[in-house]
Chains A and B, each alone.
Chain A
Amino acid sequence: DADVTQTPRNRITKTGKRIMLECSQTKGHDRMYWYRQDPGLGLRLIYYSFDVKDINKGEISDGYSVSRQAQAKFSLSLESAIPNQTALYFCATSGLAEFTDTQYFGPGTRLTVL
């Protein structure tokens, strides 16, 4: 969905490095989410934010941090990357005003930690 963009699309890094993944949206949505996807495990929620001042941990937040710089921007950081953080990462958004919980996803970032 072009309304939700993620950068970079691919990243290879080394153990111990700090990595930031960025997400921007033009949908005007209030809520933003970060997920990781691993083969056989589906999508798992890392962090979510209902507005700029509201940040919440998901089921697998250890080793990650986030920043909601603006309504349209939500970044995910790996302070010290480790190999088991190799995964596909997705940002998603949903809109309070839409009265549904449909989440719209970005194209993903493929992260490899060596």
Chain B
Amino acid sequence: GESVGLHLPTLSVQEGDNSIINCAYSNSASDYFIWYKQESGKGPQFIIDIRSNMDKRQGQRVTVLLNKTVKHLSLQIAATQPGDSAVYFCAENRGAGSYQLTFGKGTKLSVIP
């Protein structure tokens, strides 16, 4: 089955609020995780990544949290804007020299003006 999955398929957030998108993974050997954003009609766009030796990483308005104990990954978007409306995917690299990524099915984020 799918080892990289989602807790919610859709998420609606008021503009200006913070968004939290969750992802679960099952492979303890996974050592690298990426969040992608896909806008309608476009290809997935890299947002932020994190390695398994870290538990938090921050970018511009985005933070990724990694909890290896419960195999959980989250993406936090601060002050959500209409332009953040998109589908967000998490992806994992399964370690051991693998260069393949396994993708979750995605969460659709809708920002309410």
Contacts and interface: CB of A to CB of B under 8 A. Distances in A.
A103 B101 contact: yes
A108 B93 contact: no
Nearest to A43: B103
Interface in B21-51: 32, 34, 36, 41-46, 49
A43 B44 contact: yes
Nearest to A105: B43
Contact of B100 (A1, A45, A108): A45
Nearest to A56: B100
Interface in A60-109: 90, 92, 94, 100-108
Interface residues of B, number: 22
Nearest to B4: A42
Contacts of B100: 45, 48, 58
Nearest to A40: B105
Given A31-B99, A94-B99, A102-B49, 15 more contacts: A1-B43, A42-B89, A42-B104, A43-B103, A48-B99, A48-B100, A50-B99, A90-B43, A101-B34, A101-B99, A101-B101, A105-B44, A107-B42, A107-B43, A108-B41
Contacts of A41: 105
Interface of B: 2, 32, 34, 36, 41-46, 49, 89, 91, 93, 98-101, 103-106
A92 B105 CA distance: 17
Contacts of B32: 100-101
- The contact size tier of chain A is 20 to 34
Given A50-B99, A101-B99, A101-B101, A43 B89 contact: yes
Interface string A3-37: 01000000000000000000000000001000000
Given A42-B104, A42-B106, A94-B99, A101 B43 contact: no
